[in-house]
Amino acid sequence: MSILSDLLILSLFQTPNFNPPRLERGAPLAHSLNIIRSSWVIMDLEIDPEGKVAVRSSKGVNPFRDMALTSVRQWTFAPARTKEPVESRVTAVFLFRPRDLFAGAAPQIPKSSGSDPDRPPLPLKVSDPGYPRASIGEGAVMLELRIAQTGSLENVRVVTGVGGLTEPTEKVARTWGFEPALRKGAAVPGTVIAVVSYLRPVLYAPSPKGN
């Protein structure tokens, strides 16, 4: 058998290149003004071949879960592709911060059961960036994280930035850890959308003496 024939047969058994979905449009995110501690919401999203979003599962407490759901349902994606658009899965990680300078506790993340042959990248470690002391900004920073099929972070794209908050958020997001996405049981590149919502800390000046 010739080398050309060998290469042709090998190509028939190769998995087509998989390009993960890409967020095309986000949506505004509400934030409770009465929050007293950092609150996390983590979602498993299904993206259809037209780029529309369905929520498969969500972990978090209300009102934050409902706020995140309201935003997510307005997102649109450029769908994942092999030779043509295909269904895919995306993880969304939301952090709602209080009016506090200091980083809150990381969420407890359950271990993967390993039974799902199709899944998005799974968080192993996420952390609260805290509020940058030099910033006076307020709002939600949205990042798109490209996770390689090894699980390492391959690229970060700023979808929505906030002055004085975007760079510190990206720096901390680069320290997060993930298991790679799976497609038909094989590791593939994947997408994680990270949203950190900041409220400007309230600093109380000491009362004058005698008051």
The tens digit of pLDDT for each residue in 138-197 reads 999 999 999 999 999 999 999 999 999 999 999 999 999 999 999 999 999 999 999 999
pLDDT in the model for residue 5: 46
DSSP 131-185: --TT----EEEEEEEEEPTTSSEEEEEEEE--TTTHHHHHHHHTT-EEEPEEETT
Token pair for 86: 């295909």
Amino acid 102: pLDDT: 94
Q: Has residue 82 got a pLDDT over 90?
A: yes
pLDDT attached to residue 116: 84
What's the pLDDT score for residue 32?
87
pLDDT tens digit sequence for 35-71: 999 999 999 999 999 999 999 999 999 999 999 999 9
Distance CA 140, CA 24 (A): 17
DSSP single-letter state for residue 19: B
Q: Tens of pLDDT along 126-148? A: 999 999 988 999 999 999 999 99
**What's the average model confidence in pLDDT over 82-97?**
97
The per-residue pLDDT for 161 is: 96
At residue 127, the 3 state secondary structure works out as coil
Is 8's pLDDT higher than 90? Answer: no
CA–CA gap between residue 83 and residue 103 (Å, rounded): 43
